């Protein structure tokens, strides 16, 4: 079903994603006509014409839109076409906009941002990573400069002073994680002037589905190092290194967990000196050997992570590339490092967390754009109250999408993919192949190399070269293999980056996109297909899958799960297609359930966090909490600070209170994480896990501030109040990362099973 037909059906049925942007036709038509008259204006006159009345964004000014379009033509050499101006109007008015790959969304976002800035708004253009934020800010800077609008990026390499200045600009380009980390770091400042203070006015989210839906599954985490982690994990790794499957440990039926057998436990206990792992004094060893076993059996190199520069780099399943600043929690990361013989890092101590969703909902106005918005329109409405619609391409797509070919086995599928690549390559047609994992991309690359075909492989191991590799994928004779195309941010130009061979490539059919298996989401499939046929170019796509693919194995429909091998061989092509489609829908449903669960479980934490931040803000400004503390222990405070001026006593007291509050909040989060890891077991007792978690969170938080006050009193009685006051016992931020897995250190059953089956096949 084409995007145009889906969009029309949504409007007929009044479904999410059915927003019509035809209401902007009058302003856009007027702006297109006016822009022709602005050519004769000088630069100063053009700037004056581009200034709409402040806060008029709900009634878009056609003259201002025309002036911005003319400025784009002058300084960027890009004359916005009608559809781009419609998209900009939709963003200005606060919608999520679907625009196909190659339709110029970067310029659309810049036009909308410039317009809003000229009305007096502060705008964050949010991307998926630092590279795109910096690239787009630099690329669009001439347009902003021409309109006298300040602009700049915020990236991970910037120090605090530079960030503080960057956030004062009218338009800021930044990745979602950098903004989130700045919010978390600001939460730990001890003086108001230390904040970098992002302004939460307007957010325009590029790759909206990736940022607002996919990235929302994992929280941002501000973490410190726990120095208590030592070499014991290395010993535990050695203990389990040569254990044998089925004899010493077993993996459950769906590959979700691994457990020691009785004989395996005997071996482990013997190797640890004849200890009893289940006695209270050996609980730490029980945890360590289980972590080591999980790291060895369920977490796999080139699937879940890669090795780069002597360290573990996690691979994002949704984007097929290194997940920057992400790691596994609860000691699993250290266990994988030990397995690989690397220097073991400390165990992370959670200081604070923030979900992407809570972060984005801080903005007064929210908008977004992507090539695949309609597929997540219901979630955008459910989680963000963000209405969405589609802007049709400037030129109709003439890409040819072949019907899926579904084989019984992966070996049959792989042979067919190799034959198709060789056949297409005979004519010189450029080919882009999408795979599901780093290992699969390399295996396919090696197979093509063995038959004499030159291949460029793009995966998490070499994603630093991604812009140049993707940009060249449209060259004559090019064969490019990529793990995921979502958020790559680089257009594929037919005939190479300079278009020198464009006519030849067009004549032989444009870019051919071949998908090796389906992704767990139809969105990701569509993003891969969308790389072909951009801006009315010719192109084709085809998908090859099998009933042995991980997607099908993990999400097997009833018809497949109950069939024996003979029955499976009798499935027709139509039935096989239906089974794969059903498995994909099951996977999408599971992801939506996890999103809802993550959101629901975080509500209690979010409300408690708001309370803590409110108290913290009052402490920063020397408000009531300090007075309450003095009232609780007046003699201790006065006597311990008797040799200091009154103002200095208040300053030191404030600092201690802030540090103790932060430490207690960290401990509270650690407790809730432990509860959360096992909360789903409450279903077995007939309880609702979310309700149970909220009740426990409320009970644990009851009296929290009183405990903080008591801890402060104990702290100042122990160390005293002086300029040399020791803070060595209090945790401070030392690292920032996100947790790759949201609710369980080893992932949910589906993803652990997927990893297990990948490993089985590779071994």
3-state secondary structure of 206: strand
Work out the end-to-end distance of the chain between its first and last CA atoms, rounded to an integer number of angstroms: 39
DSSP for 142-173, please give it: HHHHHTT--EEEE-TT--HHHHHHHTTSSEEE
CATH of range 3-222+356-390; options 3.40.30.10, 1.10.10.60, 3.40.50.300, 3.40.50.620: 3.40.50.300
Asked if 115 and 57 touch (Cβ cutoff 8 Å), the reply is yes
* Of the candidates 428, 432, 431, the residue with the CA atom closest to the CA atom of residue 508: 428
- Residue for token pair 């300079």: 498
pLDDT of residue 537: 93
Sort residue 105 into left (φ over 0), alpha (ψ -120 to 50) or beta.
alpha
- Whether the Cβ atoms of residue 47 and residue 109 lie closer than 8 Å to each other: no
Q: What is the pLDDT of residue 653?
A: 79
Backbone angles phi, psi at 406, to 5 degrees: -115, 120
Token duo for residue 77: 């050499």
Phi, psi of 205 (to 5 degrees): -100, 115
Q: At what angle do helices 82-92 and 105-118 cross, to 10 degrees?
A: 50
Tokens representing 699 are: 């009970």
Q: How many residues does the chain have?
A: 763
With left for phi above 0 and alpha for psi between -120 and 50, is residue 442 left, alpha or beta? alpha
Which tokens belong to 23?
């209401």
Beta-carbon contacts of residue 607 (< 8 Å; ≥ 6 apart)? none
Show the tokens assigned to 641.
């600070």
Question: What pLDDT score does 223 carry?
Answer: 75
C-beta atoms surrounding 696 within 10 Å: 17
pLDDT-flagged residues of the chain (< 70): 1-17, 53-58, 224-230, 252-256, 316-326, 329-330, 346-348, 459-467, 484-490, 622-626, 629-630, 632-644, 646, 677, 681, 683-684, 719-763
Return the pLDDT at 90.
97
Single pTM value for the model: 0.83
Domain boundaries, the chain: 3-222+356-390, 228-315+334-341+744-762, 409-546, 597-737
| CA nearest to 362, candidates 384, 379, 341, 377 | 384
- DSSP string covering 321-387, please? SB-TTEE-TTTHHHHHHHHTTPPPPPEEEEEEEE-HHHHHTTSSEEEEEETT-GGGHHHHHHHH---
Domain 409-546 coded CATH 3.40.1120.10: no
From the candidate CATH numbers 3.60.15.10, 3.90.1440.10, 3.50.50.60, 3.40.50.300, the one assigned to the domain spanning 228-315+334-341+744-762: 3.90.1440.10
What pLDDT, on a 0 to 100 scale, did the predictor assign at position 385? 94
- Sequence-distant (6+) residues with CB within 8 A of 164 are 195, 196, 197
pLDDT of residue 137: 96
H helices present in 283-354, as ranges: 283-297, 332-339
User: Rounded to whole angstroms, how far apart are CA atoms 631 and 709?
Assistant: 11
Distance CA 590, CA 287 (A): 29
CATH class of 597-737: mainly alpha
Equal fold, 409-546 vs 597-737: no
């Amino acid at each position: 079903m084409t995007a145009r037909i889906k969009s029309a059906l949504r409007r007929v049925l009044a479904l999410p994603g059915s927003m019509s942007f035809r209401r902007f036709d009058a302003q856009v038509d007027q702006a297109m006509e006016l822009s022709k008259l602005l050519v004769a204006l000088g630069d100063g006159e053009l700037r004056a014409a581009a200034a709409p009345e402040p806060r008029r964004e709900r009634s878009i000014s056609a003259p201002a839109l025309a002036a911005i379009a003319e400025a784009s033509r002058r300084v960027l050499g890009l004359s916005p076409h009608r559809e781009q101006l419609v998209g900009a109007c939709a963003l200005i008015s606060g919608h999520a906009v679907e625009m196909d790959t190659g339709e110029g969304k970067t310029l659309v976002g810049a036009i909308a941002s410039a317009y809003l800035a000229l009305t007096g708004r502060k705008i964050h253009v949010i991307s998926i990573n630092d590279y795109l934020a910096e690239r787009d800010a630099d690329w669009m800077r001439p347009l902003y400069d021409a309109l006298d609008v300040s602009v700049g990026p915020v990236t991970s390499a910037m120090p605090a002073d530079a960030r503080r200045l960057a956030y004062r600009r009218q338009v800021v380009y930044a990745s979602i994680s950098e903004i989130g980390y700045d919010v978390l770091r600001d939460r730990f400042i001890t003086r108001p002037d230390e904040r970098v203070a992002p302004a939460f006015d307007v957010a325009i989210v590029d790759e909206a589905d990736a940022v607002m839906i996919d990235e929302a599954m994992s929280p941002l985490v501000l973490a410190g190092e726990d120095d208590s982690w030592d070499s014991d994990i290395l010993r535990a790794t050695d203990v389990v290194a040569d254990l044998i499957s089925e004899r010493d440990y077993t993996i459950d039926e769906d590959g979700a967990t691994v457990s020691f057998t009785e004989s395996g436990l005997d071996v482990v206990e013997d190797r640890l000196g004849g200890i009893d792992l289940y006695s209270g004094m050996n609980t730490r060893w029980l945890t360590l050997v289980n972590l080591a076993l999980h790291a060895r059996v369920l977490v796999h190199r080139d699937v879940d992570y890669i090795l780069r520069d002597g360290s573990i780099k996690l691979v994002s399943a949704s984007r097929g590339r290194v997940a920057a600043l992400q790691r596994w929690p609860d000691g699993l990361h250290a266990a994988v490092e030990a397995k690989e013989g690397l220097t073991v890092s400390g165990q992370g101590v959670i200081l604070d967390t923030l979900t992407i969703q809570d972060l984005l909902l801080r903005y007064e106005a929210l908008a977004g754009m992507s090539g695949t918005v309609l597929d997540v329109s219901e979630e955008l409405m459910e989680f963000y109250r963000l209405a969405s619609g589609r802007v049709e391409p400037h030129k109709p797509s003439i890409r040819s999408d072949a019907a899926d070919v579904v084989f019984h086995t992966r070996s049959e599928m792989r042979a067919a993919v190799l034959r198709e690549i060789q056949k297409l390559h005979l004519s010189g047609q450029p080919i882009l192949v999408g795979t599901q994992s780093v290992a699969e991309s390399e295996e396919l690359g090696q197979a093509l190399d063995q038959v004499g075909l030159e291949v460029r492989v793009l995966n998490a191991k070499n994603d630093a070269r991604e812009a140049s590799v993707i940009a060249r994928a449209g060259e004559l004779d090019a064969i490019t293999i990529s793990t995921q195309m979502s958020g790559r941010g680089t257009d594929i130009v037919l005939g190479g980056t300079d278009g020198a061979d464009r006519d030849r490539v067009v004549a032989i059919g444009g870019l051919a996109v071949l998908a090796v298996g389906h992704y767990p989401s139809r969105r990701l499939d569509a993003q891969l297909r969308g790389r072909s046929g951009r801006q009315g170019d010719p192109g084709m796509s085809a998908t090859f899958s099998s009933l042995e693919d991980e997607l099908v194995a993990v999400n097997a429909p009833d018809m497949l799960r109950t069939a024996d091998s003979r029955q499976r061989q009798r499935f027709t092509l139509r039935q096989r297609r239906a089974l794969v489609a059903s498995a994909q829908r099951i996977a999408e449903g599971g992801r939506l359930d996890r999103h809802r669960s993550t959101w629901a479980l975080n509500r209690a934490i979010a409300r408690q966090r708001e309370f803590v931040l409110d108290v913290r803000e009052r402490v920063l400004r020397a408000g009531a909490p300090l007075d309450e503390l003095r009232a609780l222990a007046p003699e201790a405070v006065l006597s311990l600070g008797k040799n200091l001026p009154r103002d200095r006593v208040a300053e030191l007291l404030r600092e201690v209170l802030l540090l103790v509050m932060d430490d207690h909040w960290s401990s509270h989060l650690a407790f809730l994480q432990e509860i959360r890891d096992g909360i789903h077991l409450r279903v077995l007792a007939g309880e609702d896990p979310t309700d149970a978690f909220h009740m426990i969170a409320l009970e644990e938080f009851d009296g929290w501030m009183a405990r903080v006050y008591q801890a402060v009193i104990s702290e100042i009685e122990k160390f005293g109040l002086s300029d040399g006051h020791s803070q060595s016992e209090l945790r401070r931020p030392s690292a920032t990362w996100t947790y790759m897995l949201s609710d369980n250190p080893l992932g949910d059953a589906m993803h652990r099973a997927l990893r297990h089956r990948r490993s089985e096949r590779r071994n």
